Structure 1
Amino acid sequence: MLNVGVIGTGMIGQDHIRRMTTVLSGVAVTAVSDVDSAVAADVGGRIGATVHATGEDVVADPNVDAVLVCSWGPTHEQYVLAAIAAGKPVFCEKPLATTQDACLRIVEAEVAYGSRLVQVGYMRRFDFAYRQLKLTLESGEIGSPLMMHCAHRNASVPPFYQKEMAITDTAVHEIDMVRWMFGEEIAAARVLVPRKSRNGGDLQDPLLLILEMASGVIVDVELSVNIRYGYDIRGEIVGEDGTAALGSLSPLEIRTAKQLVTPVPADWRERFLQAYDVELQEWVHALALGGRPLGPTAWDGYAAAVVSDAGVAALRTGERVEVTLAEQPKLYLGVSA
């Protein structure tokens, strides 16, 4: 049994705790903490977990084998570094850290430790549809890839959502996904600004993010975060000999009143529910079998941060911005899931 300590018991933290206590096997939640001590006490009391005052106390708890970081983004670096220092595997929800320098410090700490401890929560790699798309691409059935068309549409976003979050918080999932899908780095980013939607308020919404892969594959990502009708994630790869795309939004079709309706997911929790389950179950199994995570690495978290910064710079300037990464340590070569 893997004993996990959870740092951050807000929405995603509580969802992961629900997952680990009612859905997954081979795992138990033994400790929790949150900046809101009352919430932590309530959550911990319901599952019989020790409630700690700080995230560092969770890491240090001898009854914690591995750590799950679900706290506010700016705190991720300190907790991930504490877990590395303690030699404990740590699953960190995205972002790995809020700056590329902070991500690089985590990479350097893990390299100094000498083996992988960190996994970053990019759940699309664990989604059945995306995995099937990647298998189709790798089979050669559609030939060499030339382009990929993506859409990331939210019904709405919260009031605190700011313009640059379309890149750093929304598009970052596509940024990680295409690096994994094509097995290569992103070389440059551009942002095109279409006509503004009346639903966007003060935001510039939608945006079109253009990513240039190292091989020359071009990826376009439509970012529409106030499209009202639901949560709609799309992806199609155009190859030399054919195309492959993600399937239907819903396994259900409703026929009534002379209409055929395919329900659209309300939000990311509904669309990627099973991906989150698979993601954490595979993390638990990997630690049980080999003692180290096999999913998205600290390097993946760092690379996503660098590309996000390039995207933000492109949004601000209207120019093409090249992506420059540090030299990739040998620890991460060929190990990303």
Structure 2
Amino acid sequence: MQSTLGIGFAGAGPVTQAIHLPTVARLGGEFTVRHVTDVDPAVAATVAGRLGASHSTSIDVLLDDPHVDVVVVCSPHRFHAEQVIAACRAGKRAVLCEKPLVMSVAEADAIAAVSAETGVPILVGAMHTFDPGWRAAQAAWGDLPARSHTIRSSIVLPPNARFEDLATEVLSRPALPSVDRSDPEMVAGLLHALVMGLTIHDLPLIRSLLPRYDDLRIVDARVLEPYGYRIVFVASGKVVELHAVLSQTWEPDWVLEAYADDQVLQVEFTPSYVHAGSAVSTLSGGGEARVFGPTACNGYEAEWRELAAVVRGETAPPKIEELVDDVRFALAVADAAADSVRKTEVAA
């Protein structure tokens, strides 16, 4: 039996190359990359060659590899459901799927069913949920979820390439999509994609501050130039503001805030591709401020450490029902915001 856990990557794009592989390397003897699959044979061969791993262009070949204990799904979103389900049915010891887990409620329900049937644990790589700075604040905030009235997520980032190139030599990367801003359907589709690709990092955290979201109502939704959004909605009597802009010229800034009448939570995250330690969380109230972080361990490293602990039976896996509810919430926000901006664009 392998002394380290064998990893198979389904998808070898920038997230695999610039985030996961450097993180796995820092963990020493916990994991060994055994197989890399990518639809681009040159990318699969080159990334695998750097690691001394096998490579292929087929998920089936990866799943048949007896050296692969854990499958890490880093493919485009539309392939997540089928690949997670296939990994569970192949009897692998765990699956780590990049966010979002799936792109529809039906897919989420299918994954919940197969996870229950096979017993294969599933983790979702929404790294902020694992971040030690966030988790420390969550453990200390008391009844803030019940008392908070305003939640705000603000993300200002340059395009990923700036930080990808600092982490590694990225072999290939997708271009930002070209969108006809005069077409309401394309504008709505862009907003939906931004929520499911970027806001998704913070949506599980926001959900933990909302007692319920079945009464979600969009107040304002719009796409910002060059790539970004502003979405304001109300749920559980709370106002939630989501703001993001991708710009070459602004300094990165990623902040999540929650406000109650007598308490404020502020969490400052590092950009996704920057391996710079945990978030810094500040809980202010009652005339004092408690600060949590930074620690050397960032959210990506924490998620990989939790993955190892789950596979080795040292900690319980995340409840699949919670992961499914995260997806339902994200889709509720994305669908409602896209519908709102579609109607606005048509009216204009």
Query: What TM-score bracket applies, with the shorter chain setting the length?
Result: 0.7 to 0.9
Task: Show the counterpart of 1:310.
Answer: 336
* 1:102 lines up with 2:107 in the alignment: yes
Q: What letter corresponds to residue 131 of structure 2 in structure 1?
A: D
Aligned to 2:307: 283
Deviation at 1:95, TM superposition (A): 1.9
2:319, 2:40 → 1: CA distance? 30
Superposed, 1:27-176 pairs within 5 Å as: 27-88=31-92, 89-113=94-118, 115=119, 117-137=121-141, 139-140=142-143, 144-156=147-159, 159-160=176-177, 163-164=190-191, 165-176=193-204
Q: Which runs of no fewer than 5 residues in structure 2 stay unpaired?
A: 161-174, 180-189, 278-297
Q: Scaled by the length of structure 1, what TM-score is found?
A: 0.76
User: Normalization by structure 2: what TM-score?
Assistant: 0.73
Q: State the distance in 1 between where 2:245 and 2:137 align.
A: 23
1:59-98 CA distance string (max 9 Å, x none): 2211111110111222212211101112321111012123
The percent of aligned pairs where both chains have the same amino acid is 23
Please name the residue that 1:299 is paired with: 324
- Report whether the alignment pairs 1:210 with 2:238: no
> How far did 1:53 drift?
3.2
Cα separation, partners in 2 of 1:316 and 1:175, compared to 1, 3 Å: farther
2:216 corresponds to: 188
Aligned residues of 2:85 and 2:111 also touching (Cα < 8 A): yes
Q: Is the 8 A contact 1:148 1:236 kept in 2?
A: yes
Mark the runs of 5 or more structure 1 residues left unpaired by the alignment: 250-264, 320-337
- 1:189-248 CA-to-partner distances (Å, cap 9, x unmatched) read 415257x86xx24x5x5x3222433x423221122233731221112211132222125x
How big is the shift at 1:6? 1.0
2:170 equivalent in structure 1: none
Measured in 1, the distance between the counterparts of 2:244 and 2:58 equals 36
- 1:230 is aligned to 251
1:17 deviates by 2.3
Q: Distance in 2 between matches of 1:208 and 1:228?
A: 19
CA distance 1:286–1:24, shift in 2 (3 Å)? farther
- Out of 20, 39, 57, the position equivalent to 2:24 is 20
**Alpha-carbon separation, structure 2, partners of 1:186 and 1:131:** 26
Q: CA 1:312/1:62 → structure 2, altered by over 3 Å: closer, same or farther?
A: same
- The alpha-carbon deviation at position 52 of structure 1 amounts to 2.7
CA contact (8 A) 2:145 2:208 kept: no
Distance, in Å, in 2 between the alignment partners of 1:226 and 1:166 is 14
Count how many residue pairs are aligned between Structure 1 and Structure 2: 293
Q: Distance in 1 between matches of 2:309 and 2:110?
A: 27
- Within the candidate set 4, 7, 10, 1:7 is matched to 10
Give the SS at the match of 1:268: coil
| Residue 100 to residue 309, structure 1, CA distance change in 2 (3 Å) | farther
Distance between the aligned counterparts of 2:77 and 2:144, measured in 1?
Answer: 40
Displacement of 1:55 after TM fit? Answer: 1.2
Quote the RMSD (CA, aligned, Å): 3.0
CA–CA separation in structure 1 for the residues paired with 2:212 and 2:272: 26
What is the distance in 2 between the residues matched to 1:71 and 1:141? 36
Asked if structure 2 preserves the Cα contact closer than 8 Å seen for 1:209 and 1:311, the reply is yes
Distance in 2, Cα, partners of 1:183 & 1:64:
39
